[in-house]
């Protein structure tokens, strides 16, 4: 067993694992001090992740890759962290977050729509003014004083992200279109997609807390729907509408 500490979304987490993979994965977040909470992985946790992965692929009519136990443990660790975070007004969201001039913009969509491609266009457009926060599973803290988005070690297959936090200005739901267009939408119009993209805790009390946090987030930031092609003009259209 290996035990190390990491600061993720402002919380110091002690992780005890069976394999070293997760510690290599999280090394940019290493920290010292008294942990806010601890997670420890068991062989049963890894078996659960293997079974869950197999079911997800089977549902799509595909055969699951033969992931190593170390890789499956990485997912098990993040699942346990995600179960704890609502206690700290924080939840995991599936999306790609980029910051321009220190302000965050979150893009979400169905898988394969082009979230990562769109934020790449922002980096091309803004150069050094644009910094990737997280390209897959950022954490969001929603409090009465505002909404903050955090980079996490779990930043997608392209490893695009940084150990930073920024205020979240807007959320944008992406849809493919031949012509670029963007419109402000209501929380009610966005809610189904928001719920689809959050991590949903298994503990009922934590799920209730997560739903309250999503409501708070949706009431605090503007939400847009962007119909976009994959030209840099799509980034211009999105930014001009969302910059405030």
Residues 57, 98: one domain?
no
Per-residue pLDDT at 228: 86
Q: Classify strands 90-92 and 139-143 as parallel, antiparallel or unpaired.
A: antiparallel
Per-residue pLDDT of the chain in tens (244 residues, 90 and over written 9): 999 999 999 999 999 999 999 999 999 999 999 999 999 999 999 999 999 999 988 888 898 899 999 999 999 999 999 999 999 999 999 999 999 999 999 999 887 667 788 888 999 999 999 999 999 999 999 999 999 999 999 987 778 899 999 999 999 998 888 899 999 999 999 999 999 999 999 999 999 999 999 999 999 999 999 998 888 999 999 999 999 7
Residues 219, 120: one domain?
yes
Residues 143, 67: one domain?
no
Per-residue pLDDT at 157: 78
Residues 196, 168: one domain?
yes
Write the burial class of residue 121 (CB in 10 Å: 0-12 exposed, 13-18 middle, 19+ buried). buried
How many CB atoms sit inside 10 A of residue 150's CB?
Answer: 25
Residues 127, 227: one domain?
yes
Domain finish residue from 46, 69, 88: 88
Q: How many domains does the chain have?
A: 2
Pair of tokens at residue 36: 């806010």
Domain finish residue from 88, 105, 124: 88
Per-residue pLDDT at 229: 85
Read off the pTM: 0.94
Domain finish residue from 44, 64, 88: 88
Domain encompassing residue 72:
2-88
Residues 181, 157: one domain?
yes
Per-residue pLDDT at 113: 65
Secondary structure of the chain as H, E, C letters: CEEEEEEECCEEEEEEECCCHHHHHCHHHECCCCCCEEEECCHHHHHHHHHHHHHHHHHCCCCCCCCCHHHHHHHHHHHHHHHHHHHHCEEEECCEEEEECCEEEEEECCCCCCHHHHHHHHHHHHHHHEEEEECCCCEEEEECCEEEEECCCCCCCCCCECCCEEEEEEEEEEEECCCCEEEEECHHHHHHHHHHHECCCCCHHHHHHHHHHHHHHHHHCEEEEEEECCCHHHHHHHHHHHCC
Pair of tokens at residue 224: 């847009």
Residues 155, 228: one domain?
yes
From residue 26, how far is each of 8, 17, 21, 31 by CA, in Å? Answer: 9, 12, 9, 10
């Amino acid at each position: 067993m290996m035990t190390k500490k990491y600061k993720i979304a402002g919380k110091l987490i002690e992780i005890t694992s069976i394999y070293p993979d997760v510690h290599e994965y999280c090394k940019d977040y290493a920290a010292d001090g008294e942990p806010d909470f601890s997670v420890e992985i068991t062989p049963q946790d890894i078996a659960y992740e293997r079974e869950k992965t197999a079911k997800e692929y089977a549902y799509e009519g595909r055969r699951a890759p033969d992931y190593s136990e170390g890789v499956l443990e990485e997912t098990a660790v993040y699942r346990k962290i995600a179960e704890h975070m609502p206690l700290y007004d924080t939840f995991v969201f599936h999306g790609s977050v980029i910051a321009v001039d220190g302000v965050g913009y979150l893009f979400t969509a169905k898988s394969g729509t082009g979230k990562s491609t769109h934020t790449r266009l922002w980096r091309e457009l803004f150069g050094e003014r644009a910094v990737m926060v997280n390209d897959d599973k950022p954490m969001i803290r929603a409090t009465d004083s505002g909404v903050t988005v955090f980079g996490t070690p779990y930043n997608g297959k392209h490893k695009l992200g940084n150990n930073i936090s920024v205020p979240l200005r807007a959320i944008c739901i992406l849809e493919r279109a031949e012509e670029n267009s963007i419109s402000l939408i209501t929380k009610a119009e966005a809610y189904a997609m928001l719920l689809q993209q959050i991590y949903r805790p298994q503990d009922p009390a934590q799920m209730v807390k997560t739903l309250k946090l999503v409501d708070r987030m949706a009431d605090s930031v503007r939400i847009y729907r962007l119909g976009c092609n994959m030209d840099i003009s799509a980034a211009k259209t999105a930014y001009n509408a969302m910059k405030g």
